[in-house]
C-alpha cells in the first residue's frame, strides 16, 4: 500500500487526533497542578495573597513581521503564547496557547470558512480572525 494512499492518511490523521486530545488533557491537568503548587509555595513564604501569581508572557509568530506589506491583515498564520510563573525558582509554565489558520483545504481552490466547518480541519481560527 503506498504511503500517500487516502486510507493511510486518514488513519494517521485519526490516530494523530486521538493523541492530540490526550496530550491536551494531560497538559491541562499538569498546568493546573503547577498552579496549585505555586499557590502552596505562596502560602509558605509569607506572600501577601497566595492567589496572586506573577507571570512572564512571551509570544511568537511564524512571520518576521506582524503586518503584510501588500495585503490587509496579518502576514503570520501561526502564533504561540506562553505564560511562565516567576514566584518560584522552577518557573513553571502555567499557560500555553497556540492559534493557527492552517487548513489542508486552503490553496486547493475550495472556499472554506474554518474552523470546524468541515471534517478534518486543523485550523483553530478563521483566516480573517486576528492572532491575539
Query: What's the closest the beta carbon of residue 79 comes to Zn ion, in angstroms?
Result: 17
Residue 77 binds Zn ion, judged by CB under 5 A: no
Q: 26 by DSSP, 3-state: which?
A: helix
Query: What's the closest the beta carbon of residue 61 comes to Zn ion, in angstroms?
Result: 20
Alpha helical stretches, state H, the chain: 6-44
Among 76, 79, 94, 103, binds Zn ion (CB under 5 A): 103
Query: What's the closest the beta carbon of residue 127 comes to Zn ion, in angstroms?
Result: 9
Site residue total, Zn ion (CB under 5 A): 5
What are residue 59's DSSP bridge partners? 81
Piece of the chain touching Zn ion by CB under 5 A; list 6-14, 40-48, 68-76, 109-117: 109-117
The owner of cell 478563521 is: 126
Q: Which of residues 112-131 bind Zn ion (CB under 5 A)?
A: 112, 114, 121, 123
Cis peptide bond prior to 31, omega within 30° of 0: no
Rounded CA-CA distance 109/94 in Å is: 40
Amino acid at each position: 500500500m503506498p504511503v500517500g494512499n487516502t486510507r493511510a492518511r486518514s488513519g494517521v490523521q485519526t490516530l494523530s487526533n486521538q493523541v492530540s486530545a490526550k496530550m491536551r488533557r494531560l497538559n491541562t491537568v499538569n498546568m493546573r497542578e503547577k498552579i496549585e503548587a505555586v499557590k502552596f509555595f505562596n502560602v509558605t513564604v509569607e506572600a501577601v495573597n497566595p492567589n496572586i501569581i506573577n507571570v512572564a508572557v512571551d509570544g511568537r509568530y511564524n512571520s518576521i513581521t506582524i503586518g503584510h506589506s501588500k495585503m490587509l491583515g496579518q502576514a503570520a498564520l501561526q502564533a504561540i503564547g506562553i505564560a511562565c510563573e516567576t514566584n518560584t525558582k522552577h518557573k513553571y509554565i502555567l499557560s500555553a496557547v497556540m492559534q493557527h489558520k492552517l487548513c489542508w483545504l486552503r490553496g486547493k481552490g475550495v472556499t472554506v470558512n474554518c474552523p470546524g466547518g468541515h471534517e478534518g480541519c486543523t485550523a483553530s481560527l478563521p483566516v480573517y480572525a486576528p492572532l491575539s
